[in-house]
Amino acid sequence: MAQGTGARRQACGIWTAWSEAASASDAVSGIARAIGTPSLSQIVAFFSADYDPEILAAAMAAQFPGVPVAGCSMSGGIAPAGGLDRGLVVVAFPAERFRIVSTVLDAIDHLDVERTASAVRALRRTLDPAGPCREADAQAAGRRFALSLIDGLANAEETVVSAIAWALDGIPIVGGSAGDDLRFRDAVLLHGGRIHRKAAVLVLVETDFPFEIFKSDNFEPTQTKFVVTASDSERRIVYELNAEPAARDYAMAIGLDPEGLSPMSFAAYPLAVKVGGEYFCRSIRRMNADGSLSFFCAIDEGVVLTLAEPRDIVTATREELARLDTALGGVDLIIGFECVLRRLDAESRQVGHGIADLYRRYNVVGFETFGEQYRAMHLNQTFTGIAIGKGFSGRAEASDAPVAS
């Protein structure tokens, strides 16, 4: 696990910093001391649900005056020094070679798709080259990616990420759903010095450094199928699978008594849906008192769910990170979004240390989510992110700047 407070400057100039301080103000102060006063274009912050978000927002504004800050509450952090059960993780983009704009989308539980698309297009235009030039526009689009942070308790990720991806018109997007450990009570977003609920934050980045978005999972479909025969898609509740009480039918399929179902069970045996020839996980959030199952994704009646079985999570993750390293000519930094159930599954299989070693090796920073976004899809039980390559030769190597807690 990460300890204390520290910071690291990557070769591309991005600062990553972390703190396990008990209070939000102490965490922000420690990170400010660790980073110093570089010229920054944007800060993205992931913070513990234990922190008072208003105090955190005020502290960020005071410690980093004039720097735009976006962020969200998390269910655990990923720092260069290891995982954090609680604390603050910061990604600070330098002004040099990173042009960044962001916006907040409110009331996502009653999303106006056209208004959302218009807001995203307006954000894109703020980065467009002056004057009409299709060639310049196309070149700029190839240097851009987007990060999405979405309230994971608003049950709106599918609609939000679909609308954003449509308006981005090919600009790749990845992101995560804000959480609150596994309390399922209050997830918050930070943007413009204010706290938002039932909202999403979109950060649009333009850079000359090479990058690639990715997703990784470690599950394969089995022959066991379930048809959703009764559900409430808006509330993400499935009442019946194969015309049987959902929890009972699922528990029987994995060889457990329904009373024995737990987050560990759901992490070890996710359900998947087939879209365009590819399987995507649809993870269970909890079992309800009436025997129904709440999901992290919307599930409609008539959908066929496939029971998935795990393959080695360390091997699957290592293969994907090695592929990115080769594709980019060396990975400098990965901003990652990992499902909290993936962490629980790794811990239950006693391979969490292997994942942590890989994340340290490839400089992964990010947070544990209530869901992940990849292009126009909302996913579960995956590891998504943006890998940034080293790109420019002759630049400074990454360096650590630990600070005593």
Q: Compute CA distances 62 → 15, 32, 66, 69, whole Å.
A: 19, 10, 9, 11
Q: Quote the tokens at residue 356.
A: 């942590």
Q: What is the pLDDT along the chain (405 residues), one digit of tens a residue?
A: 445 899 999 999 999 999 999 999 999 999 999 999 899 999 999 999 999 999 999 999 999 999 999 999 999 999 988 889 899 999 999 999 999 999 999 999 999 999 999 999 999 999 986 555 545 555 666 899 999 999 999 999 999 999 999 999 999 999 999 999 888 899 999 999 999 999 999 999 999 999 999 999 988 999 999 999 999 999 999 999 999 999 999 999 999 999 999 988 998 899 999 988 888 888 999 999 999 999 999 899 999 999 998 889 999 999 999 999 999 999 999 999 999 989 888 988 899 999 999 999 999 999 999 999 999 999 999 999 999 998 753 344 455 554 443
Q: How far is CA 346 from the centre of its chain?
A: 18
Per residue in 173-210, is it b (16+ CB within 10 Å) or e — as a string? bbbbbbbbbeeeeebbbbbeeebbbbbbbbbbbbbebb
Q: Compute CA distances 65 → 13, 61, 88, 153, 322, whole Å.
A: 19, 5, 18, 31, 38
Tally the residues of the chain.
405
Query: What pLDDT digit, counting tens, does each position of 232-264 carry?
Result: 999 999 999 999 999 999 999 999 999 999 988
Non-local (6+) Cβ contacts of 333 within 8 A are 10, 12, 14, 16, 363, 365, 387, 388
Beta bridge pairs of residue 238: 231, 293
pLDDT for 399 equals 56
Closest CA to 175 of 196, 155, 151, 154: 151
Phi, psi of 123 (to 5 degrees): -65, -40
Sheet holding 372-374, edge to edge: 98-105, 200-207, 144-151, 173-178, 372-374, 377-379
Coil/strand/helix, residue 18: strand
260 DSSP assignment: G
The whole-angstrom separation of Cα 335 and Cα 346 is 20
The whole-angstrom separation of Cα 13 and Cα 372 is 26
pLDDT for 129 equals 65
pLDDT for 405 equals 37
Non-local (6+) Cβ contacts of 230 within 8 A are 238, 239, 240, 301
Q: Compute CA distances 255 → 109, 159, 224, 247, whole Å.
A: 36, 35, 13, 12
Instruction: Please tell me the pTM assigned to this model.
Output: 0.90
Cβ pair 148, 174 in contact under 8 A: yes
The whole-angstrom separation of Cα 99 and Cα 118 is 21
Angle at 347 between CA 346 and CA 349, to 5 degrees: 65
Angle at 206 between CA 202 and CA 211, to 5 degrees: 95
Beta strands, E only, 2-140: 5-9, 15-19, 40-48, 69-74, 77-79, 82-84, 88-94, 98-105
pLDDT for 138 equals 54
Cβ pair 340, 368 in contact under 8 A: yes
pLDDT for 1 equals 44
How many Cβ atoms are within 10 Å of 139's Cβ, its own excluded? 11
